[in-house]
Chain A
């Protein structure tokens, strides 16, 4: 993007970069070029400071004690819940369950909602694009209940086959679980349309939002999905924290996932009654410091012009795709019409793992491998790709560094 265009879009990437201390880091003596944000994003100073401040001034357990620090900790923890509610436009904060992350949220739905409602003859529908964490929890619950797991195919471009999706929906379909954005290819799935069709067929819909949440505005009421799971660490917050949004009537009807403290109303050896949602699903002392950092990450994202940020990211992605297409022997894997922030590709005669090592020595951090999406790799008859993934802090200069480093890869392997 030219400086003029950057100004016109109202997005100042230099200012954003200055918010992320790690971007000044040098690796192997080279400036860090971080192109692995789909794996985990970097953290702005405000998030790091919020967690530091919490441990210095407010650390205590929540919902339990009468002392001041516990009040502070509880206020911070519940404050993040309120922020998350606004961030995804949930109808109320009771529908926001804190989890360890997206994987935890999906497992919660599979084991609580799925296990208590599925039976033999029922079907769970996922797509070929899913991350392992939106496959394996459903395989487990299908084994436990006798339900069948069905997989909607994708086309060569890496888009879900919507005709197949419609034809696979039936009265037997009880749960539809789809990713909002593919972590391996970057495809943006038409989740709003798919959710409407699935719900019309009588299914409950879970959207895996791990890869969408740092890039796309998410409005769970507009999507009208029943569950939406995402992770803090993909959106500039700390690891080990996430949110499961659930339709409140469903959450209230669902059995607890784990038992322990904080999730109960009263306990005797004869009978235990459970706390109200969302606390029913938050057994044990949670990652309070992480939730505090997560709150700061939500603040950070809500304070930037996200539309302008997305335009910026799209520009960098297009620039990267054009650059990689120009490399002799390079092939982009996944050419969906609607994509965000991910460029997966392979190089003739060079295994992605070797490329990854050489790129690393040039300071360029990418992910190489199957990206926890082995079925996607199998679909294309490959075992791995090189994946460059973007966040709001990446620039065309980062892509230039990637392309220079890929030249080195070619030199080593020519």
Chain B
């Protein structure tokens, strides 16, 4: 069962139990909603952009352990960083989870715990939901809070 424990590593279970930045931002400048109709995962992502920097980030919603942990890890890794760096990280993360499992992937530090989803093709969407929602939020020029 080594592959199952690759997927459900302690870090992931911990972020699932105690998701970081799990809150709505009162002063959000950007917001996007992520939805995976396959499993019903929903994610509300809030960004506070200050100039070129993601000053604060928070999320709420319900989902499986993989999507929740991925959202938690994503918020930790983009908080306080330039938008351009966050966008680049999106690309690197996306490459990591979509590379076939028999090939080497770049070490993305803490985010590398999610490389295990490659063994579980139907779960890749769970891991990438938060990142796609981040991209959607960044791509919006106006504040979107009407959803």
Contact = CB atoms under 8 A, between A and B. Distances in A.
A221 interface: no
Interface string A361-380: 10000001110001001000
Nearest to B65: A354
Contacts, number: 51
A384 B66 CA distance: 15
A329 B101 CA distance: 35
B39 A384 contact: yes
B7 A357 contact: yes
Nearest to B13: A413
Interface string B4-34: 1001100001000000000000000000000
Interface residues of B, number: 21
A169 B4 CA distance: 52
B3 interface: yes
Contacts of B111: none
A150 interface: no
Contacts of A353: 39, 41, 63-64, 66, 123, 126
B39 A368 contact: yes
Contacts of A383: 39-42, 62-63
Contacts of A369: 38-40
Interface string B25-65: 00000000000001111100000000000000000001111
Interface residues of A, number: 17
A358 B39 CA distance: 15
Contact of A354 (B38, B40, B66): B66
Contact of B8 (A368, A374, A412): A412
A351 B64 contact: yes
A413 B123 CA distance: 17
A158 to B, nearest CB: 18
Nearest to A369: B39
A338 B69 CA distance: 40
Interface in A198-225: none
Interface in A131-168: none
Interface string B73-86: 00000000000000
Q: Please provide the 5 A-B residue pairs with the shortest distance between their CB atoms, ordered closest to farther.
A: A383-B40, A351-B64, A353-B64, A353-B39, A354-B65
18 contacts: A350-B65, A351-B39, A351-B63, A351-B68, A352-B64, A353-B41, A353-B123, A354-B65, A357-B7, A357-B120, A358-B4, A358-B8, A361-B1, A369-B38, A370-B39, A374-B40, A377-B40, A383-B42
Given A383-B62, A412-B8, 12 more contacts: A351-B39, A352-B64, A353-B41, A354-B64, A361-B1, A370-B40, A377-B40, A383-B39, A383-B41, A383-B42, A384-B39, A412-B4
Interface of A: 350-354, 357-358, 361, 368-370, 374, 377, 383-384, 412-413
Interface of B: 1, 3-4, 7-8, 13, 38-42, 62-66, 68, 120, 122-123, 126
